[in-house]
Amino acid sequence: MKLIKFFYLLFSVSIINFSLAQNCDLPPTYNGNTGSNMTVFFTPTCLSSLNATDENAYLVALTSSGLVVGSRSIYGLSQTSVALWSDDSQTPEIDGALANEVISFQLVNGTDLYDVFMPSPVVYVVNDLIFLINPAVTTLVECNESVYGCTDATAFNFDTTANTEFDPSTCIEVIEGCTDATAFNYSSTANKDDNSCIEVIEGCTDTTAFNFDTTANTDDNSCIAVKEGCTDAAAFNFDTTANTDDNSCIAVVEGCTDATAFNFDTTANTDDNSCIAVVEGCTDATAYNYNSTANTDDNSCIEVVEGCTDATAYNYESSANTDDNSCVAVVEGCTDATAYNYESSANTDDNSCVAVVEGCSDTTAFNFDTTANTDDNSCIEVVEGCTDGTAYNYESSANTDDNSCVAVVEGCTDATAFNYNSTANTDNGSCIEVIEGCTDTTACNYNTAATNSDACVYTTDLNDCATCSGEQDGTGTVVDNDTDSDGVCDSDEIPGCTDTAACNYNAAATDSDDDLCYTLTVAVDTSSLTSVLTAIVSPADSVVEYSWLYNGAEVGIESTYTALENGVYSVEVSNSTCDASASFEIQYVSLHELNPLEVNLYPNPFKDIINIDFMKATSNIELRILNTLGEEVKYEKIVQNRDSSEIQIQVSDLPKGMYILRVNSDNYLNYFVLIKN
């Protein structure tokens, strides 16, 4: 935004008598645009003082060398502005005004040429805006007058047509350097090219980068970080991301890498699908239980023992495992030659030898006595069942085993249990309740007691900042450590002001806290209605340095300053990061001050309405509200306040900040510093 300067010079005008006319040639109007300018605003008082009577009258602005840098037709206008154009630094010739150059003005009124002397010197500042409030002075240019300009032949703006130098300070020193804005060593302060320009060469300028370019002088963000690793594509540990070999490559060794395989190779690092599963068994071909498919002996071999292996044979050998055809059939009978029923052909005594023995002779009876030859009515009926006392289904009432015995199988017989055993017939109290849950130890909801795997929750389901809460009973959760979801973990967040326009802007901040941001402003408080000027700084607790200036010279360094003479005073405040300025004009010679007791202003600080209570009837009241840059943001005019009643100003549309209220009534003036919350 352009800086606005106010000039209230009511009592004297400093006139610089010089003429830029050359043989009465009328200066042309300006037609061009160099890309940047300064604006001079002519108020009605100033413009009317030029007395332009010709309908084609126009005003031109000239540099000290006579170069036209702006113009405006002014006939019939009540107020206007003139744009003064800057020198274009992209071209070698001077085609506009230079910084801090004094600008002069001429009026072409028909065939007459006038030098125009403004109420104050106009010094060129790019993007500046000044107001000319008081009358200007014009003088008719006589032909063949002196030609003013820079007469120093060594100066950058030496004017060969000039014969009179009205101000040596207008000469500009030659500054050699590179003036090519596209060059690597372009100098913005140079005004004469010395052929020192160096071409821009883009590339990687980081000496530690993989692609460092020794010829580059301008970094183009193409640098690639060095990544060490094995770059041999044929190596076992080839790294596709590496760009610098670190001699870590390992040769490929193929073989079986399964440590449980029969042919596991401890030297192999690359599996070639040659693994053979281990098959245990007896590998002795002479053994009784030789296993031709086994490749790993498990010490189970049994030696061959020959003999009769027929358990029903007379000469059965329980230790034999290989039959040798020596078996003899059993011939049972009574082998006791003295017995009642001796049989000479019998080779196996069947205990049938009996004398006369009484007993049960019923062959269907439980207690049939084969030795008995005389029945004594003692027979007992057969009761079939399992007679094995260790069996699962033992029957104590049975006297005859019917081969129905079932062996006891202990285990969990609860079909709903985790370890239910369908083969068990006897419950041994080992049942384990089924517990469903996550069985993955890396999951956040891992349950050490879970028997059946259920859905698992992982930190990767949320974001890279997430962690597990730590419980291992299934109640664990994913903890979100990026509460504002900005990709920066909470532990790495840096709070601070992210407003680049603020005084306390923090470029490293990741967590915006713009409530802490502040900008530095200053206003001049003259409510004391004396020559004491007070600098009002916002924020109020700012620690700043003060500099009071009068006519460009420092006159004070405290927060207040007592003016010793009329004129424009300015105050500059600054801290380590910001600065601000404000100005005020002291003009008490012909100015009556309002008695502060006769005006009551409230509330202050204000929000939407300002009340101004005049204690007596007042006429021609002008109310102006200015911001800290001197810009008028509110204006109201009241012709007459007949009954001294209260005046209200609506200010709800103003942003928060510091303002100055200027109250004019006829020849009375007063200022108030206001704060809007």
Are residues 526 and 640 both part of a single domain? no
Give me the pLDDT at residue 126, please.
Answer: 93
Report whether 634 contacts 623 (CB < 8 A).
yes
Average pLDDT along the chain: 84
pLDDT above 70 (res 348): yes
Give the range of the structural domain holding residue 62, as residue numbers without chain letter.
1-200
Spatial distance between the Cα atoms of 476 and 24, rounded to a whole number of angstroms: 96
Give me the pLDDT at residue 81, please.
Answer: 94
Is position 220 within any domain? no
Spatial distance between the Cα atoms of 422 and 411, rounded to a whole number of angstroms: 9
Give me the pLDDT at residue 98, please.
Answer: 93
Is position 191 within any domain? yes
Is position 18 within any domain? yes
| Burial label, 384 (beta-carbon count in 10 A; 0-12, 13-18, 19+) | middle
The pLDDT-based confidence of 156 (bands split at 50, 70, 90) is: confident
Distance of CA 624 to the CA centre of its chain: 45
Is position 485 within any domain? no
Spatial distance between the Cα atoms of 663 and 676, rounded to a whole number of angstroms: 18
Count the Cβ atoms, other than its own, within 10 Å of residue 658. 20
CB under 8 Å to 468, separation ≥6 — which residues? 443, 444, 459, 476, 477, 478, 479
Is position 290 within any domain? no
pLDDT above 70 (res 20): no
Are residues 540 and 608 both part of a single domain? no
Give me the pLDDT at residue 505, please.
Answer: 80
Give me the pLDDT at residue 499, please.
Answer: 80
Are residues 90 and 25 both part of a single domain? yes
Token pair recorded at residue 285: 């071909």
Are residues 77 and 194 both part of a single domain? yes
What is the amino acid identity at position 291? N
Are residues 52 and 110 both part of a single domain? yes
pLDDT, greater one: 396 or 491: 396
668-676: strand order across its sheet: 592-593, 668-676, 657-665, 618-627, 632-641
The pLDDT-based confidence of 662 (bands split at 50, 70, 90) is: confident
What are the tens digits of pLDDT across the range 521-533?
Answer: 888 876 654 567 8
What is the amino acid identity at position 2? K
Last residue of a domain, one of 169, 200, 231: 200
What pTM was estimated for this model as a whole?
Answer: 0.26
What are the tens digits of pLDDT across the range 614-637?
Answer: 777 677 788 888 887 768 888 888
273 in the Ramachandran plot: left (φ > 0), alpha (ψ -120 to 50) or beta? left
State how many domains the chain has: 3
Report whether 119 contacts 132 (CB < 8 A).
yes
Is position 377 within any domain? no
Spatial distance between the Cα atoms of 673 and 64, rounded to a whole number of angstroms: 41
Q: Measure the CA dihedral 659/660/661/665, to 10°.
A: -160
Dihedral over Cα of 39, 40, 44, 48: its sign: negative
What are the tens digits of pLDDT across the range 44-62?
Answer: 999 999 999 999 999 999 9
Spatial distance between the Cα atoms of 609 and 602, rounded to a whole number of angstroms: 9
Give me the pLDDT at residue 112, please.
Answer: 93
Lowest mean pLDDT among 168-182, 241-255, 278-292: 168-182
pLDDT, greater one: 595 or 264: 264
Is position 235 within any domain? no
For residue 614, what is the domain's CATH number? 2.60.40.3080
Are residues 628 and 543 both part of a single domain? no
Report whether 124 contacts 97 (CB < 8 A).
yes
560 in the Ramachandran plot: left (φ > 0), alpha (ψ -120 to 50) or beta? beta
What is the amino acid identity at position 433? E
Are residues 55 and 194 both part of a single domain? yes
Last residue of a domain, one of 536, 571, 587: 587
Spatial distance between the Cα atoms of 122 and 104, rounded to a whole number of angstroms: 7
**Closest alpha carbon to 149 in 255, 49, 243, 63:** 63
Are residues 649 and 516 both part of a single domain? no
> b or e along 439-467 (b: 16 or more beta carbons within 10 Å of the residue's beta carbon)?
beeebbbbbeebeeeeebbebeebeebbe
Q: 46 by DSSP, 3-state: which?
A: helix
Give me the pLDDT at residue 146, please.
Answer: 62
Are residues 578 and 622 both part of a single domain? no
- The backbone torsions φ and ψ at residue 368, rounded to the nearest 5 degrees and listed phi first, read -55, 130
What are the tens digits of pLDDT across the range 404-453?
Answer: 999 899 899 898 888 899 898 898 899 988 888 898 888 898 888 887 77
Is position 93 within any domain? yes
Last residue of a domain, one of 566, 587, 608: 587
Are residues 572 and 598 both part of a single domain? no
pLDDT above 50 (res 93): yes
For residue 534, what is the domain's CATH number? 2.60.40.10
> b or e along 56-88 (b: 16 or more beta carbons within 10 Å of the residue's beta carbon)?
ebbbbbbbbbbbbbbbbebeeeeebebbbbbbb
Residues 458-468, mean pLDDT to the nearest whole number? 84
pLDDT above 60 (res 386): yes
What are the tens digits of pLDDT across the range 363-378?
Answer: 898 888 888 888 889 8
**Closest alpha carbon to 404 in 415, 416, 395:** 395
Token pair recorded at residue 664: 């004019």
Are residues 581 and 646 both part of a single domain? no
Are residues 99 and 5 both part of a single domain? yes
Give me the pLDDT at residue 507, please.
Answer: 78
Residues 34-38, mean pLDDT to the nearest whole number? 92
Report whether 408 contacts 415 (CB < 8 A).
no
Report whether 432 contacts 419 (CB < 8 A).
yes
